């Protein structure tokens, strides 16, 4: 009897803890939650080719009590999410990437959509928006290297131009009569904003015209100015660039405070990713004792992002055979950990960050069945 009571106590404690934990959370309307998720990491940071955001939406209104995090949404993971009463699944990789031409029971991705809708579960994917974010996947991957400073390999730019238009056209005009004609003419062109200011060149009073315009309007502006040799020879055309975003972008170039041997770096990466094995390509002339000072990394598939980066080591999930050969020929070591192994561990940090960001208004849980499909045997 006594031993039976002893076994029951931990279960009772767990049940009470679960009730207390769940009672601390309320709920959020789906639309409000989506706004908060976008505030955490704007979807505008995602690559143009990506399919991010809300992919499956139950009929509104939809209340979210439980947010379920996974790296990949497979049928096994979907079953787990349903058993755990998820209202919204945040799948880092978008389960819908290529367009679906029909929704039937024939393919596993179609079945995911059907099961989600039947059970009123939304599906949201941030993917490359989380790759680029300052507190995102690549920054998490860099934590395993040791003390270092890092910067994006390909910095992100602000989603919008700070001023109107993509180009600025500047030229000078002599005389009030010409000035009125010119301003009147350019204002008739769509997507053009005009400012003017007085200048003095060679003791001659002039008016400097500054136009901000779109790429399409630029063609019309140049066509107009080319009609007058006086204007056109004094024309400057500037391309306006969106400002870079601090600590935001694809990949990371990490410089260690202190160099370590390649063997030591391999051990650090294994420990961080909780892996027993990684794949290694030694750079030409390199050994396991060669020093590593600069690491270029990209979670997932890094071939495009890492190409041309100057580093002692490339760290990513997967690269093509020929890209590995190219890197090794330049004396760059390459470590491959399999695609999702370089991403999945981030979800634990994400759970904590989202909990704080959402002020613990909803229950956030991690998938226990999500795993990389490849295993070393």
Per-residue pLDDT reduced to its tens digit, 120-146? 999 999 999 999 999 999 999 999 999
What is the pLDDT at residue 229?
76
Express each pLDDT in 217-226 by its tens digit. Answer: 999 999 998 8
What is the pLDDT at residue 23?
47
What is the pLDDT at residue 234?
77
Task: Please report, in range form, the residues annotated as the binding site for a divalent metal cation.
Answer: 93, 131, 339, 343
What is the pLDDT at residue 194?
92
Tokens of 320: 């093509």
What is the pLDDT at residue 177?
64
Q: Rounded mean pLDDT of 243-253? A: 96
What is the pLDDT at residue 25?
66
- Alpha carbon distance 291, 258 (integer Å): 10
- Alpha carbon distance 75, 98 (integer Å): 18
Task: Please report, in range form, the residues annotated as the binding site.
Answer: 93, 131, 339, 343
- pLDDT of residue 6 exceeding 80, the answer is no
Number of Cβ atoms within 10 Å of the Cβ of 365: 16
Helices (H), 155-254: 176-187, 215-225, 229-232
- Alpha carbon distance 194, 347 (integer Å): 49
Band (299; pLDDT cuts 50, 70, 90): very high
> Which residues, 6 or more positions from 166, have their beta carbon under 8 angstroms from its beta carbon?
213, 214, 215, 218, 239, 240
């Amino acid at each position: 009897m006594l031993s039976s009571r002893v076994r029951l106590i931990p279960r009772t404690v767990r049940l009470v803890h679960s009730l207390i934990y769940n009672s601390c959370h309320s709920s959020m309307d789906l639309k409000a939650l989506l706004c908060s998720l976008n505030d955490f990491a704007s979807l505008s940071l995602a690559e143009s080719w990506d399919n991010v955001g809300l992919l499956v939406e139950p009929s509104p209104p939809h209340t979210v009590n439980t947010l379920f995090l996974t790296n990949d949404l497979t049928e096994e993971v979907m079953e787990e999410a349903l058993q755990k009463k998820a209202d919204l699944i945040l799948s880092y990789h978008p389960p819908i990437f290529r367009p679906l031409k029909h929704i039937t029971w024939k393919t596993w991705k179609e079945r995911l959509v059907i099961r989600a809708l039947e059970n009123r579960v939304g599906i949201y994917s941030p993917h490359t928006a989380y790759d680029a974010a300052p507190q995102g996947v690549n920054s998490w991957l860099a934590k395993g290297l040791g003390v270092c400073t890092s910067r994006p390999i390909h910095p992100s730019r602000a989603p919008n131009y700070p001023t109107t238009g993509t180009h600025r056209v500047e030229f000078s005009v002599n005389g009030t009569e010409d000035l009125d004609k010119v301003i009147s003419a350019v204002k008739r062109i769509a997507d053009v904003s005009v400012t003017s200011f007085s200048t003095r060149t060679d003791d001659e009073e002039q008016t400097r015209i500054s136009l901000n315009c779109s790429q399409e309007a630029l063609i019309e502006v140049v066509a107009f100015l080319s009609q007058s040799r006086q204007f056109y020879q004094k024309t400057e055309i500037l391309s306006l660039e969106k400002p870079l975003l601090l600590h935001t972008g694809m990949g990371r170039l990490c410089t260690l405070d202190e160099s370590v041997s390649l063997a030591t770096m391999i051990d650090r990466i294994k420990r961080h990713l909780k892996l027993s094995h990684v794949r290694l390509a030694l750079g030409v002339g390199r050994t396991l004792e060669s020093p590593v000072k600069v690491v270029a990394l990209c979670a997932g598939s890094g071939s495009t992002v890492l190409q041309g980066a100057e580093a002692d080591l490339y760290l990513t999930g997967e690269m093509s055979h020929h890209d590995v050969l190219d890197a090794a020929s330049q004396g760059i070591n390459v470590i491959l950990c399999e695609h999702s192994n370089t991403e999945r561990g981030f979800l634990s940090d994400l759970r904590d960050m989202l909990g704080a960001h959402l002020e613990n208004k909803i229950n956030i849980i991690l998938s226990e069945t999500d795993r990389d499909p490849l295993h070393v045997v």
